[in-house]
Amino acid sequence: MIPAKIEPTSITAAIREKSEESIFDWFDLNKQSFYTLGWSYLGNQQQMEELFYQTIIKVHKELPRFKRETSFETWVTSIFIHICRKLSEDRSLLTRVETETRQDIFKALDQLKEYEKDAMVLTYVKGISKEEGAHLLQVSVEKMKELLFSGIQSLRNEMGDGSLYNGCKEYQKDYIDYLERTLDRPKKIDLEKHIYHCQECQADLATFQDVMLTLVNLTDRMEDLHVPSDFMENIKDRLAVKEKHRQQKNKKRIRKGFVFSGIFAILIGIEFFTGAFSKTYYTWSEKDQELRAFLEQDLGESLNLEAESNGVKIKIKSAIADEVQTLVFYEIEDTKEDNQYVMDAFDGVFVENDFEIMNTAAYPRYYPPDLEAAVNNEEKNVYQGRISLQPLTSDKGTIKLKITKLHKLIRDTSEKNGLVAYGGMESETGKWNFEIPVTKQPSVEYALDEETIVEGIPVRFDKLIIAPTATVLQYGINIEQREKRLDVINFNNLEVNNKKLKADSYGSSFLETTYDENWIPMQSHFDPLFGEKPKNINVQFESTYFTFEELKTIELDEIQEYPHTFEYAGSTMSIDKVEVGQPTKVVISNHENRSYESLNFEVIGEDESEIVSMEMDSEGVLVDKHGVEYNMNEPISYEEIEQPRHFITVFNTKLHPNTAGEKVVPKRLVIYGYNAMKYLDDVVKISVE
């Protein structure tokens, strides 16, 4: 789905090029709206600073995944809300002081269910449309209305009003549209006739309206909530300190790396004589092959910490920590039924003391459920997996891990090991608490000095980091060409000393470092390489993702009939329909001769300020490297498709007016550019300094 506002590519292009500093500047310009949004979740200034600080860092880290299929502000808001939730859960960890001046309405909002509160805050505090709010929460517009209705009812009860009123259910669903004056006229007349004769609905609607007015008044009061004068400066200072600390750590790491590489041969020799029994023991006792490899290299220890809740037992088998991440291996057993559950590091998993022992600026890596592993196909009620947590800031520590939710795996019985649903479908809640001792293992860094050309764009390789849990390749992408930008490089593998290390499909990200202004720093993760000094390196490319800037304007008011075809970027496109109404609908399609995956465009009305938002639903097709198309309405295992490409074939656009009751008359279609994936098979040989 492509949501509300489509921003010109120049906005995100500038952010990409100026990196974290530019993201801070963007937040500085938009601080008021985000400050009021954050205050709806959090209770004090310290938490608010932490919220902005973490969001800026996470937006910077996640920017490679932003494909401009949504507005930048909407995408940032989704990240902002996610961190709001986390900090509101961990509120007591930051401070025990709760502001006395926090209004009763906020305290009542805090008691709502998570999605009810999100819907209320986004609509009545952030002030976004129901359509955009539905996209942010990944629900339908109807579900969004249901959340608002149930949220207002719950809020009414929390504030001590409404428990005695029971209106007719068939009319309650229309309360919000009626009070917001957006209800269709026939339904409006029917509701008013009913209310005239129904005293229960009169009282019910009146108290419902009181709560909505309280929310509207809250919005007005929130506009007077000023951002403290030193608020953004404090955050900027923290970012500067983090950058300085990172540079110092890099210098220390390089020095340690040379020392470590000098003594590594001695350690290997010792292991040859003393580690034979250890290797035999772990081969016999540990079924998880990846964990077994770490234990055999003496990079961690067996822990087997256990906790049980509601008949579900979790065992923490081991934890491996280094500069890249803290990798936690676990086993989950359903002792009552034949269910398999997995952990999601981003939902229901919290480190209570993360601000004390972990690098909160880092972002955990994502590991999808491993359904192919033999150990996960032996028993129907046991699953073994791993999650990534942030790396440690010190050499040793104890992780206080709190788990409140597990996600149920549902396999496709028609296709062996196929995954139908994971996360958001079915879950198990409970309380599983652990204290996990960890020791951070050292990493070795090697400077690289190699440059190549990828589809006409320079790419340079700067550093190779060999850590216990991953091999990391750091590189830079040149951004001097404005009309064509290389956004993402996907690697197939990294061959080191004739050993092929598979690339992590989810392991590419921006690198927090100081770079030449004409280069974007990136890094990609590969399988770990134990105890070897690289002599020769071959980098195998797989594909790249480009953004092309190619401006085209089509005057819609000059088109006599639809569908209307036109040529763009080597493809024949069609404007299938323009339907003026509430909202106005514009449908654009491209079913044949596709040369790109998606478009960056917007529709402009007669008065360029009359459109408050642009909502889009898209239809598409999944195509593998060989041109085979897959039905996206059926279960798909993306990992089994060779280098898939997702082509958007239909853009269903809805234009919402700035003024309620009016209609948007589209004047022109402006296409700013497009995104396209290119397959590669190049191999670059790199020398090690």
**What pLDDT, on the 0 to 100 scale, is given for residue 12?**
47
Residue 384: pLDDT band with limits 50, 70, 90: very high
* Residue 139 confidence (pLDDT): 78
Q: Work out the pLDDT band at 257, boundaries 50, 70, 90.
A: very low
Query: What integer pLDDT is reported at residue 575 of this predicted model?
Result: 93
Provide the pLDDT for residue 588: 93
Asked whether residue 645 carries a pLDDT value surpassing 90, the answer given is: no
pLDDT computed for residue 285 by the predictor: 56
219 pLDDT exceeds 70? no
Same domain, 482 and 495: yes
Measured distance CA(529)–CA(540) in Å, rounded: 17
- Number of structural domains, the chain? 5
Give residue 281's pLDDT. 45
Token pair recorded at residue 472: 């990391």
∠ CA 119-125-131, rounded to 5°: 45
- Residue 627 resides in a domain: yes
pLDDT at residue 128 in the model: 78
Higher-scoring residue by pLDDT: 170, 38: 38
Across the beta sheet with 571-579, the strand order is 564-568, 571-579, 584-589, 645-657, 611-623, 629-630
Quote the pLDDT of residue 4: 34
Residue 313 covered by a domain = yes
Examine the domain organization and report whether 65 and 172 are in the same domain.
Answer: yes
If asked whether residues 288 and 308 sit together in one domain, one would say no
d(CA 165, CA 199): 10
Burial 437-453 (b: 16+ CB within 10 A, else e): ebbbbbbbbbebebebe
> What are the tens digits of pLDDT across the range 82-132?
888 878 765 444 333 344 445 556 666 777 777 788 888 888 777 778 888
With a cut of 50, say whether residue 263 has pLDDT above it.
no
Assigned domain for 685 exists: no
Residue 411, pLDDT above cutoff 50:
yes
Query: Contact 640/505 with Cβ under 8 angstroms?
Result: no
pLDDT at 638: 62
Query: What does the pLDDT look like over 416-468, one tens digit per residue?
Result: 334 444 444 578 999 999 999 999 999 999 999 999 999 999 999 999 999 99
Q: Report residue 228's pLDDT band, with 50, 70 and 90 as the boundaries.
A: confident
Same domain, 350 and 282: no
Q: Does residue 249 carry a pLDDT above 90?
A: no
- Stretch 268-289: mean pLDDT: 50
Q: What is the pLDDT of residue 271?
A: 43
pLDDT band at residue 133 under the 50/70/90 scheme: confident
Residues 347 and 417 in one domain: yes
**Do 433 and 453 lie in a common domain?**
no
408 and 274 within one domain: no
What is the model's pLDDT at position 42? 82
Is 237 part of a structural domain of the chain? Answer: no
- Element at 668 (helix H, strand E): strand 666-679
Banded model confidence at residue 160, pLDDT cuts 50, 70, 90: low
Q: Bigger pLDDT: 659 or 169?
A: 169
- pTM for the model: 0.59
- Please tell me whether residues 107 and 203 are part of one structural domain: yes
Q: What is the pLDDT of residue 389?
A: 94
- What pLDDT, on the 0 to 100 scale, is given for residue 502? 93
Q: What is the mean pLDDT of the chain?
A: 79
Mean pLDDT on 388-408: 93
pLDDT single digits (tens) 5-36: 334 344 444 454 446 788 888 888 888 888 88
Answer whether residue 543 is part of any domain. no
Structure tokens at 206: 């009146």
Q: Tell me the C-alpha distance between 614 and 653, whole Å.
A: 7
Same domain (yes/no): 335, 462: no
Question: Does some domain include residue 570?
Answer: yes
The pLDDT, as a whole number, for residue 341 is 94
Mean pLDDT confidence for 390-397: 92
- Whether residues 417 and 278 fall in one domain: no
CATH number, domain with residue 367: 2.60.40
Q: How far is CA 279 from CA 139, 294, 296, in A?
A: 50, 10, 5
Q: What share of the chain is helix, strand, coil (3-state, %, to 5)?
A: 35, 35, 30
pLDDT for res 220: 56
> What pLDDT score was predicted for residue 267?
38
Does the pLDDT at position 626 exceed 90?
no
Lowest-pLDDT range of 214-223, 531-540, 628-637: 214-223
Q: Which pLDDT score, from 0 to 100, does residue 627 have? A: 83
Mean pLDDT of 647-659: 83
Average pLDDT over residues 519-536: 88
Q: How many CB atoms lie within 10 A of CB 588?
A: 27
| pLDDT digits 0-9 by tens, 559-587 | 888 999 999 988 899 999 999 888 889 99
The pLDDT score that the predictor gives to residue 3 is 33
Instruction: Check if the beta carbon of residue 587 is closer than 8 Å to that of residue 574.
Output: no
Which DSSP letter does residue 42 get? -
Query: What type of residue sits at position 32?
Result: Q
pLDDT reported for residue 164: 57
3-state secondary structure 585-640: EEEEECCCCCCCCEEEEEEEECCCCCEEEEEEEEEEEEECCCCCEECCCCCCCHHH
Lowest mean pLDDT among 68-72, 90-94, 525-529, 682-686: 90-94
The boundaries of the domain holding residue 270 are: 246-297
- Among 223-227, 413-417, 659-663, which is the least confidently predicted range? 413-417
| Of 9-18, 58-67, 154-163, 198-207, minimum mean pLDDT range | 9-18
Q: Give the rounded percent of residues in the chain with a pLDDT score beyond 70.
A: 79
The pLDDT of residue 278: 45
Q: Which residue has the tokens 């969001």?
A: 55
Residue 275 lies in a domain: yes
pLDDT(261) > 50? no
- Looking at the fold, whether 475 and 489 belong to one and the same domain comes out as yes
Q: How far is CA 474 from CA 20, 501, 671, in A?
A: 18, 15, 34
The predicted structure's pLDDT at residue 578: 92
Omega into 583 within 30° of 0, i.e. cis? Answer: yes
190-204, 274-288, 325-339, 439-453: the lowest-pLDDT one: 274-288
Q: Which residues of 589-625 are buried (b: 16+ CB within 10 A; e: fewer)?
A: bbeeebebbbbbbbbbbeeeebbbbbbbebeebbbee
Residue-wise pLDDT tens digits, 496-505? 988 999 998 8
What is the per-residue DSSP string for 496-540?
A: ETTEEEEBPTT--EE--S---TTEEEEEEEE----S---SEEEEE
User: Residue 686: inside a domain, yes or no?
Assistant: no
Q: Examine the domain organization and report whether 524 and 488 are in the same domain.
A: yes
What pLDDT sits at residue 482?
82
Hey, CA dihedral for 654, 659, 665, 671, is it positive or negative? Answer: negative
- Residue 643 Rama label (left phi>0; alpha psi -120 to 50; beta): left
